[in-house]
Chain A
């Protein structure tokens, strides 16, 4: 697991270094959206928790439900915001070679 973590840090480092400064704002909102992948755990809490509810009681399920609510709001909001930002950049491709002087 630690190996995976360190490798992922390296991949992240080299990929993000190549992001143009102009796109730093969309980068932030998209990374924010994908960090909500923790919703997987909340879904587990609710799905498995409901299945075995007699054994655990409801606390875990309720925490899970709140987490799902917050995380999906963030996922949808984050991706929509990124899309909106990127649509402003769309169609204005950068021609590095033909910069007017």
Chain B
């Protein structure tokens, strides 16, 4: 009877794969997205049930209850940890949280590869000699472990940079490409050696070097490039799963790995297009040298910036009939979205149209701004993507840029020497008045001067985004 039952397990893995595909499909619309998430949970429950069922079929004679209790207890503890992380960190630190979770997958994948290596016959992959892994499986296993290790340290560094305990400034030293290239070659050689010898120390070397290269790859990358990096690490966590799936000839892992891997790759591609840069140039950190030149060439020139008070801003805004808000990372840091929503409600009460323009790389992860605006109950219909709103700026009275800079920089369109030349930007300068809410008169994250600051129709309001918007609110009410 147990034999007959165990033949259902392939069917279960197919069901789980379908649920996972439905998960991604559900996210195509906000209305179906919650169902999609539910599909994901069901798929995961099915996937987790499979090994337990298999274990029960394996032997029904001896007492197995305690052996099942061990992983169940561990899962319980893990689940509680996961819950605590989400509860404690909360939405304010969304990009960090996602990076932290990526690192967990990476480390788990490394442990799994170690488990497979230390007892390959548990997983039914045994070569001609006992305790010897067949060549193809060994290749896939070491690649899976290497990507997992890169994902782990890379995500930890990304987390540190986003959280602020590692400097967001790019860390560079001379010859870093050569060092990275050298390590990559050593990893490749070590993988080949491992496949031939299958000695434990070589496997450890592969993992260790991958951990190091993950760290070295992400350290030189600045905060503004984080949307690309976070989605790239997302993609890596998928390829790791696929690698382990190939090692163990597990179709579900291959399918899920491919889904997650392509999803992350598409996101990184969208982010790269949003910055008009190639993934390779971001990983190699090509931006820095150009921007240093740009800063030095522009410093000392025009410094006529019009700074205005919250009262002036309130006056300008209340006389406008159309307002577009451009949020950026500064809004996320200050958590200003609720104050903005309040301001928008007052304006709408007076018959002013209020819209929000979102650049693909605004914030520190894909979709960062959308989540924050949704959090403060800003209607979905008022939120527009770059291409949908860019032609409307000419007919807009006031644009309020909240904690964004580079994504509005017109030199990306005009100045071919600018490091961000060619990057799609929001045409805010076409509006009658531009209000910049900024912490200080400084260049943006990329260190690039923004000519918009010196224009006649630009006003700067300096300070924390939330406080500034609250002051404007006060002035409008009073």
Contact = CB atoms under 8 A, between A and B. Distances in A.
Contacts of B27: 19-20, 23, 26-27, 30
Contacts of B410: none
Among B74, B123, B266, the one with the most A-chain Cβ atoms within 10 Å of its Cβ is: B74
A89 B23 contact: no
Contact of A5 (B94, B116, B254, B264): B254
Contacts of A22: 30, 367, 370, 374, 380, 383, 385
- Chain B contact residues, majority secondary structure: helix
Contacts, number: 375
Interface string A30-72: 1111111111111111111111100010011101111111111
A96 to B, nearest CB: 9
* Interface range, A side: 35 or more
B286 interface: no
Interface string B238-256: 1011101010111111111
B192 interface: no
Contacts of B82: 72-78, 80
Given A27-B27, A28-B267, A36-B105, A73 B122 contact: no
Contacts of A28: 98, 230-231, 234, 264, 267, 365-367
Contacts of B179: none
B256 A34 contact: yes
Nearest to B148: A38
B381 A95 contact: yes
Question: Number of contact residues on B: which range applies?
Answer: 35 or more
Interface string B252-277: 11111111111110110010000000
B20 interface: yes
B97 interface: yes
Contacts of B105: 32, 35-36, 38, 70-71, 74
A31 B24 contact: yes
B384 to A, nearest CB: 9
Contacts of A21: 270, 358, 360, 366-367, 370, 385
